[in-house]
Amino acid sequence: MSVDPEEFRSRVREFLESHAERRPHGIVPEWGEGDDRLSGFTTYTAEEEKVETAAARSWRRTLFDAGLGWLTGPVEYGGAGLGPEHQEIYDALAADFRIPSQRCFVVGLGIVAPTIAGHGGSDIKERYLAPLHRADLMACQLFSEPDAGSDLASVRTRAVREPGGWRVTGQKVWTSGAHYSDIGELLVRTDPEAPKHRGLTIMIVDMHDPAIEVRPLRQITGNADFNEVFIDGLFVPDSHVVGEPGTGWRVASSTLTSERRAMSRGGNTRDYDPLPRLQAAARALGRTDAATRVQLAELAVLSRVVAVTTRALAAADDDRAAFAPALGKLLMTDYLMRLRGVADHVIGPGIVADTGEWGTWVWHELTVRVLSQRIAGGTDEILKNIVAERLLGLPR
């Protein structure tokens, strides 16, 4: 669909002005004012999570009903049929407004929906794509198992053929958002006799089915974003298989690419990147010596390198574009790990002991959570192998 970018820009600006509050000038508030928690690295209570999720769903429904909820999606499945340049226009304008956090959609819209769109049949696309983008449904990813984390080809969750579908039994773990999800993208073994990469299948399952039990996992931060999921005799109809039975490894690889792409995007948004807050902390706490200023400047440069490199690879017109998410995720992890070290220096003892001083103790959540970045979406070691072998052409 051809839509003039300037006309679209005016339309988006009018929508945002009518439905959201503009941010004040500057990315972070005045030091010592308001909530000092770090977006993207904050521990929320169960009640706070419910409130945040409800606000996010309300915003997405308003956005979708205005024709802005799935800009690049095909019209026949509820999208606007526009190009990536229109999405960039929306993202740039929306960054200047206060809108509810959309982090609860990272899995559903950043991982599961692209898998359905890329590999699902027309029936499953019609059933799920528009409801996912309108937040009528929320989704989780059921891949990792107690004995199959990074080695996904070793999954043991079993699906046995029955008339009209499959009977599934097994266990998944580290499932983000399973406790508020309506559907899940499930990786199962459908052919135990086939080589381990060839006997896998992807299915979409109903998370409200009584054959599925979700148990929260309490983390070191005190909250429970992750869950264990137990599946006991779940029936999945053939219509809910994504792709053909036995092609699950190829579909799962596509899903992981989408996951890495979603993770590498996070640090390019104003709400997610903690660097502006760290710069403000350095000024407020008197950490303005030359060495600290150099470290903060290096972080600012690295942040831009992550954004520019990922965007350039994604726009490549050859096979390199396929590996942009892996490299982008590696770069983002490296950036956050370096930022973590500088934060330890800037905040000092306040990062390990709650003195009650505004803007200090909250940083302990980043120092703990950022370590998981080296695991989620593929460990650093696996991603380095992907980049080395498939992007750089190095030997195994």
pLDDT per position as a tens digit, 360-383: 998 988 888 888 888 877 788 988
Residue 277 three-state SS: helix
Question: Do 206 and 178 touch, CB atoms closer than 8 A?
Answer: no
Reported as a pLDDT band with limits 50, 70 and 90, residue 302 is very high
What is the pLDDT averaged over residues 195-222? 91
Residue type, 143: F
Evaluate if residue 320 carries a pLDDT over 80. Answer: no
How many C-beta atoms surround the C-beta of residue 337 within 10 A? 14
Evaluate if residue 145 carries a pLDDT over 90. Answer: yes
* Token pair of 6 as six digits: 């300037």
Residue type, 331: L
Q: Which of 145, 185, 259, 365 is catalytic?
A: 259
DSSP H or E stretch at residue 133 = helix 122-133
Percent of the chain with pLDDT over 90: 59
Q: Return phi, psi of residue 313, to 5°.
A: -65, -40
Closest listed residue to residue 56, CA positions, set 12, 6, 108, 93: 108
Exposure string for 99-134, b = 16+ CB within 10 A, e = fewer:
bbbbbbbbbbbbbbbbbbbebbeeebbebbbbbbbb
DSSP structure class, residue 321: G
What is the pLDDT averaged over residues 136-163? 90
What is the pLDDT averaged over residues 22-43? 74
Paired residues of 242 in beta bridges: 202
* Cα 177 from Cα 184, distance rounded (Å): 10
How many C-beta atoms surround the C-beta of residue 222 within 10 A? 11
Evaluate if residue 257 carries a pLDDT over 90. Answer: no
Distances (CA, A) of 394 to 57, 312, 384, 386: 45, 21, 11, 10
Torsion (CA) 369, 380, 231, 114 in degrees, nearest 10: 100
Residue type, 216: P
The more confidently predicted of residues 93 and 306 is 93
* Token pair of 348 as six digits: 């000092």
- Which residues, in sequence order, are CB contacts of 69 under 8 Å at separation 6+? 60, 61, 63, 133, 134
Average pLDDT over all residues of the chain: 89
Q: What pLDDT sits at residue 45?
A: 81
Reported as a pLDDT band with limits 50, 70 and 90, residue 1 is low
Structural domains in the chain?
5-104+115-133 (1.10.540.10), 139-247 (2.40.110.10), 273-391 (1.20.140.10)
What is the pLDDT averaged over residues 8-20? 97
- Which residues, in sequence order, are CB contacts of 59 under 8 Å at separation 6+? 99, 100, 102
Evaluate if residue 116 carries a pLDDT over 60. Answer: yes
User: Beta strands of the chain (E only): which ranges?
Assistant: 21-22, 97-98, 139-142, 158-162, 165-172, 183-189, 200-206, 212-217, 226-237, 241-242
- Known catalytic residue at 259: yes
Reported as a pLDDT band with limits 50, 70 and 90, residue 248 is very high
* Token pair of 337 as six digits: 């790990």
Closest listed residue to residue 144, CA positions, set 110, 185, 114, 108: 185
**pTM (predicted TM-score):** 0.85
Closest listed residue to residue 186, CA positions, set 110, 115, 290: 115
